[in-house]
Structure 1
Amino acid sequence: MYQNLLVGFFIFYLGSFSCHVLSKTDSQDASALNVMYTSLHSPSQLSNWKAGGGDPCGEHWKGITCSGSSVTEIKLSGLGLNGQLGYQLTNLKSVSYLDLSENQFSGTVPYSISQMSELKYLNLGSNQLNGQLSDMFQKNEKLETLDLSKNQLTGELPRSFASLSSLKELYLQNNQFTGSINVLGKLPLDELNVENNKFSGWVPEELKDIAKTGGNSWSSSPAPPPPPGTKPVTKRKASPFREGDESSSSKIWQWVIIAIAVLLALAIIAIVIALFSRRRSSPSSHFLDEERASQRRAFTPLASQELTNDMAPESIKPFKGNKSFDSDASVDMKPLPTPIGLKDPQSDRAKSLHDNEFANRLKAKKSTNAQAAPFSMADLLTATANFATGRLLGEGTIGRVYRAKYPDGKVLAVKKIDSSHFQRANSESFSEIVQNISRIRHTNIAELVGFCSEQGHNILIYDYYRNGSLHEFLHMSDDFSKPLTWNTRIRIALGTARAVEYLHEVCSPSLEHKNIKSSNILLDLELNPHLSDYGLASFHQRTSQNLGVGYNAPECTRPSAYTVKSDVYSFGVVMLELLTGRMPYDSEKPKSEQCLVRWAAPQLHDFDALAKMVDPALRGLYPPKSLSRFADVIALCVQPEPEFRPPMSEVVEALVRLVQRSSMNMKDDLAASRRTEDSDY
């Protein structure tokens, strides 16, 4: 009997040992690290890391610590890494310690960190991160240490910082933050460093004994008293309470309450007068009509997270203030750097561009002299594994797109155009197509980097965007690669609108895209949009009515009827996808809901119906006013009559105003919206 027990124990031990040896890292954790490795350009410093597969826990990947099959710590400080982190961190749900400090990471602080609910330590200090912090910290309640110091971060601190209920140490020094630090007042901080920023206002009493605050623009006047009913402030190192202060402070509060009551009364009277005057002077409250009723003032893009450096305005022009969206309305050309074949900017417009900070940055960033480079067929065959099926990215109406990978880690998208498109009469030559596409330069348009015309093949080569297309994000993504937040959706719409405006109103002659759809809007690591498949309209002449079910305007039954206004309709359908999360045509829906435009258009001005149409993936996290204004723009774009659709320049202006209003009123709008699931978002 003892022998049998011994044998059983030995077998059990061997089984346990073998299970331990063969255990693999959680597949989602491994996949996230694979993508991170690729997005960091496969650096040699990360020993044992792989671009696909592998076992981070079992193979001792550099900087990775695991508990069981889950990755729990990532320590990659001071390795000289560069690139952008993107959204891939979302999948690392068990990581509690993340140190990426002292590297050369660029871009914004990725929103994906908001989903890492187990984080206790996060250090992104001493990098090259820029832009504003998204309002994304609602789920990071376990975070104890946060270091964002020595970057180039801007804007005000997000309100969700108040959700960091476990935060003990916060380091924000040596950035360009603005506004107040009041949101930090109630946190249980032991250490706080906000030195060398652009903060203003007053340091909250609760923080004065622990905060390092030098190098900011604090107010020298006395801080205002707290609102009535506020409990006395208790500092981290409070002095003993003196009884004699109680009666005098009571008298002060009485005067404060009287003063506030008088101010409130005056404010109410002023509001009533203003509303009465506004009703008399403004007969319409329609979103776009409001601006047409204004004094034709030029709009200025707002320096907010919605307009980052990569989303800087391509052009600035005064709002034309047309009384109707007339298809014959004159279009002012924008003051862009002018490649060959583009309309010359007017001199006064050029001056306004020169004075605009965002446009200057963009002009410096985008060179107009770059030309597409010739590629050899031999190199392309090697890079695509002889155009293997496993490298196929997609197939469109004019050819297939493959992924090409080079030994140095560079990845490109290779588009093989079907040779039949060059066999019909009056078709453009391939060299003409390459020449015309090479002239198109815009920060929201996928750039042509090369071409190949050998052995009867005609190939276009573009940058490869690792986040794929908007279609994939909206309709094919799993939970960890979502969500596209409301702000991100507006940003994607605005960037795409700028790209279409450039084709329609800057290029000379004007270019129709003829294939605007979500699968042709590619997203970079920071989810900025890049319109693809442009400059190929001549191939779509005979099939424009069949380019994409649900995207085509009613007039497109005849190819010759296609105009720039047909592009506007297709863009409106893309906006509907962003709003509803639905596909343009879905045969699995009830018949009345299969065609997205036919189902949605009648409900766009009904707010109760509109709220039910919103993509459930947003979980109610959107500002209601912003939603309504977004729907207004969609309704104008998808009108059945082409002449009533606005030109893209007016669509861009409407979206810019929406961004401006959202960035000013986002806090109030979010507070009023349905945020019952904040804790789960």
Structure 2
Amino acid sequence: MNDLGTLNLSNNQLSGQASDMFGKLRKLYELDLSFNRFSGNLPQSFGSLKTLKTLYLQNNQFTGSVNVLASLKLDNLNIQNNQFTGWIPDGFKKIDNLEAGGNSWSSTRAPPHYHIYNNDNDDRYGALREKSSVIKGLAIGGAIVAVLLIILFILTLIKKKSATLLHYIDESDSQRRSFAPLVSHDKGFKFMGSSAAADILPRSSSLGVKPSPSDRSSSVGENEFKIKFNSKPHTSGRSSSVSENDFKVKFNYKRNTEPINASTMLLVDLQAATGGFSASRLVGKGSLGCVYKAKCVDGRILAVKKVDSPSHDFAEVISGISKLHHPNISELVGFCLESDFNLLVYDYERNGSLHDYLHLSDDYCNPLTWDTRVRIALGTARALEYLHEVCSPYIVHKNIKSPNILLDIELNSHLSDCGLASFYQETSKNLGPGYQPPEYNKPSDYTMKSDIYCFGVVMLELLTGRKPFDSSKPRSEQSLVRWAMPQLHDDDALAQMADPALRGLYSPKSLSRFADVIALCVQPEPEFRPPISAVVQALVLCVQRSSIRKKIGGELSTSRRSDDSEYYF
């Protein structure tokens, strides 16, 4: 097929070394091998594709350098999420749309002789230049080392004096402060605006809690952040203002490089498993589309999410979701992109959602115990901590609510819809009434601290058994947050607020501490809300102390009065 202009083999399961078979495709202008399992070095015949303008190789396992592509005059190149090494050729700076993140590029400066040559004479010339560079380097190396040692010695002296001065300033300035800082000097957390925080959130440096990236927003602009972490495809055309350092930083961000576990599924199989997406298999309808229960021939039960209006980079979204691995996150097991169908496939959680369990259960359903509710909150918080503080770049969920917290057969929580934030252009529509943070006016207002607020609303649902917004209640009680906030530090009021389904089977002290954490999460001002890692630590203590209480309660034959116990959270 010598006259072939476009070759698209993406989203298959092709594997192994790509054959060196492209030399005769002299008229090829678009080649797509993405989302396969190709490995090994790039075929040398790629270098002969002089008419090629678009090349997609993302999400494979290619290794080695990309030098063979340096001589091509490409307009679009995507080589991200492979195992390429070495340096990105300078010629790539001229490519309009370039995606190269998720590889193991060298962080050091490319050697002076690093250029791409097309014949043996040029290779020999490059070797001579390398030897010459080594000789010159040896000649000036000693002088450079000496200068660096002197500079290091001077900087050490300056640092010691600065540290002493800062300590003195901090000592004197602390006498004049009227508010505690957000981050204390012993590496623990303190929060302005709530005295309850002192008793709730751990301050020990052993927690290993790191500042939330959103707390650094004042020193890093949004545009700078996007460039640094390559958060969106570059579509603005060529730019002569990109510095050499920006170019290197952009394609060396930390990325989860685990292989994609989700597999491509056939539309015909999913149609058969869902009964042709029949209404009888419908288990829910969200802001992105309907979810169906699928019964596979091998006995598996799956949940198929039918996305109605996908973005233009749906394949890239799938790639990101496939790399999210956490026990409390609904993990993508498959997907299908056929005939205008965009389907995401997950494991089916037999106990439904937290919303269903709290608000739609009948009298025959066993209510959630207090310990189980705290454990569900902890699992969800850990999932959010993974998104906010483990993933790099971090992920804002934008859809934290009880319908998206799924419960397995053992009532462990699994946060769903992770990695789909790009679909939520109007967060108020997907969140629904009662969850919307007070600072939200437009999509750019939604941050990680907005996720914290929504999680606080979920915790309120667990505590009270009420919906986030209930129009059947009196006007003063319709909004759960507005009704609950004034009462969260009143122990007598808390007893009246607690879900009647609990039947009083909880520790009042545990309920009070849980309410104090909620009060911090739903603070009206985003900057006063804690990072999710601090919330996790507080909930861990809740679970641990509850376990200690049970153990001691079982060993003692004396009274188990909860009011006086020092072991409760």
State the TM-score, normalizing by the size of structure 2.
0.55
Residue 326 of structure 1: how far off its partner (Å)? 9.3
Whole-angstrom distance in 2 between the partners of 1:548 and 1:318:
35
Residues 66-81 of structure 1 mapped to structure 2, 5 A cutoff: none
Q: Deviations over 1:591-647 (max 9, x none)?
A: 110100000011000010011000000000001111111001000000111111111
Whole-angstrom distance in 1 between the partners of 2:214 and 2:200:
16
Match in the other structure for 1:588: 472
Whole-angstrom distance in 2 between the partners of 1:376 and 1:292:
49
Match in the other structure for 2:424: 540
Instruction: Give 2:300's match in structure 1, choosing from 406, 410, 425.
Output: 410
Residue 409 of structure 1: how far off its partner (Å)? 1.9
Instruction: Give 1:658's match in structure 2, choosing from 518, 542, 551.
Output: 542
1:398 aligns with 2:278: no
Relative to structure 1, the CA distance from residue 292 to residue 454 in structure 2 (aligned partners, 3 Å threshold; closer, same or farther) is closer
Which residue identity does 1:327 align to in structure 2?
Answer: D
Relative to structure 1, the CA distance from residue 292 to residue 550 in structure 2 (aligned partners, 3 Å threshold; closer, same or farther) is closer
Whether contact under 8 Å (2:200, 2:516) holds in the other structure is no
Match in the other structure for 1:442: 326
1:671 aligns with 2:555: no
Whether contact under 8 Å (2:200, 2:513) holds in the other structure is no
Residue 287 of structure 1: how far off its partner (Å)? 5.7
**SS at 2:425's partner residue?**
helix
Q: Deviations over 1:516-567 (max 9, x none)?
A: 1101000000000000011110110234455221011011221110001110
Residue 508 of structure 1: how far off its partner (Å)? 1.3
Instruction: Give 1:509's match in structure 2, choosing from 393, 408, 423.
Output: 393
Which residue identity does 1:562 align to in structure 2?
Answer: Y
Residues 188-587 of structure 1 mapped to structure 2, 5 A cutoff: 288-290=197-199, 296=204, 298=206, 317-318=207-208, 327-328=215-216, 368-369=258-259, 371-418=261-308, 421-422=309-310, 427-544=311-428, 547-587=431-471
Whole-angstrom distance in 2 between the partners of 1:458 and 1:452:
6
Whether contact under 8 Å (2:449, 2:526) holds in the other structure is yes
Residues 126-141 of structure 1 mapped to structure 2, 5 A cutoff: none
**SS at 1:556's partner residue?**
coil
Whether contact under 8 Å (1:581, 1:615) holds in the other structure is yes
Instruction: Give ranges in structure 2 of 5+ residues lacking alignment.
Output: 1-193, 219-228, 231-256, 564-569
State the TM-score, normalizing by the size of structure 1.
0.46
Which residue identity does 1:624 align to in structure 2?
Answer: P
Q: Deviations over 1:499-519 (max 9, x none)?
A: 011111111111111111101
Residue 292 of structure 1: how far off its partner (Å)? 6.8
**SS at 1:416's partner residue?**
strand
Relative to structure 1, the CA distance from residue 292 to residue 536 in structure 2 (aligned partners, 3 Å threshold; closer, same or farther) is closer
Residue 368 of structure 1: how far off its partner (Å)? 5.0
Whole-angstrom distance in 2 between the partners of 1:382 and 1:293:
52
Q: Deviations over 1:276-330 (max 9, x none)?
A: xxxxxxxxx9664147786x252xxxxxxxxxxxxxxxxxx4357x9x9993499
Percent identity reads 61
Relative to structure 1, the CA distance from residue 664 to residue 528 in structure 2 (aligned partners, 3 Å threshold; closer, same or farther) is same
Whole-angstrom distance in 2 between the partners of 1:504 and 1:325:
8
**How many residue pairs get matched?**
332
Q: Deviations over 1:99-122 (max 9, x none)?
A: xxxxxxxxxxxxxxxxxxxxxxxx
Whole-angstrom distance in 1 between the partners of 2:217 and 2:493:
34
Q: Deviations over 1:379-406 (max 9, x none)?
A: 0110011000000111111111001101
Relative to structure 1, the CA distance from residue 545 to residue 630 in structure 2 (aligned partners, 3 Å threshold; closer, same or farther) is same
Relative to structure 1, the CA distance from residue 329 to residue 489 in structure 2 (aligned partners, 3 Å threshold; closer, same or farther) is farther
Residues 102-181 of structure 1 mapped to structure 2, 5 A cutoff: none
Whether contact under 8 Å (1:428, 1:538) holds in the other structure is no
Whole-angstrom distance in 2 between the partners of 1:584 and 1:615:
14
Q: Deviations over 1:323-354 (max 9, x none)?
A: x9993499xxxxxxxxxx99xxxxxxxxxxxx
Which residue identity does 1:385 align to in structure 2?
Answer: G
Match in the other structure for 1:599: 483
Residue 433 of structure 1: how far off its partner (Å)? 0.8
Which residue identity does 2:215 align to in structure 1?
Answer: S
Whole-angstrom distance in 1 between the partners of 2:258 and 2:350:
25
Relative to structure 1, the CA distance from residue 290 to residue 585 in structure 2 (aligned partners, 3 Å threshold; closer, same or farther) is closer
Relative to structure 1, the CA distance from residue 500 to residue 292 in structure 2 (aligned partners, 3 Å threshold; closer, same or farther) is closer
**SS at 1:459's partner residue?**
strand
Which residue identity does 1:663 align to in structure 2?
Answer: S
Residue 664 of structure 1: how far off its partner (Å)? 2.3
- Pick which of 484-493 and 470-479 moved more: 470-479
Which residue identity does 1:547 align to in structure 2?
Answer: L
Instruction: Give ranges in structure 1 of 5+ residues lacking alignment.
Output: 1-284, 299-316, 331-340, 343-366, 675-681
Residue 577 of structure 1: how far off its partner (Å)? 0.3
Whether contact under 8 Å (1:514, 1:544) holds in the other structure is no
Whether contact under 8 Å (1:565, 1:643) holds in the other structure is yes
The structure showing larger relative contact order (alpha-carbon pairs under 8 Å, at least 6 residues apart) is: 2
Relative to structure 1, the CA distance from residue 524 to residue 452 in structure 2 (aligned partners, 3 Å threshold; closer, same or farther) is same
Whole-angstrom distance in 2 between the partners of 1:387 and 1:588:
34
Instruction: Give 2:508's match in structure 1, choosing from 621, 624, 631.
Output: 624
Whole-angstrom distance in 1 between the partners of 2:438 and 2:283:
30
Whether contact under 8 Å (2:305, 2:343) holds in the other structure is yes
Match in the other structure for 2:112: none
Residue 372 of structure 1: how far off its partner (Å)? 0.5
Residue 673 of structure 1: how far off its partner (Å)? 4.7
Whole-angstrom distance in 2 between the partners of 1:618 and 1:543:
33
Residue 671 of structure 1: how far off its partner (Å)? 2.9
Residue 472 of structure 1: how far off its partner (Å)? 0.7
**SS at 1:393's partner residue?**
strand
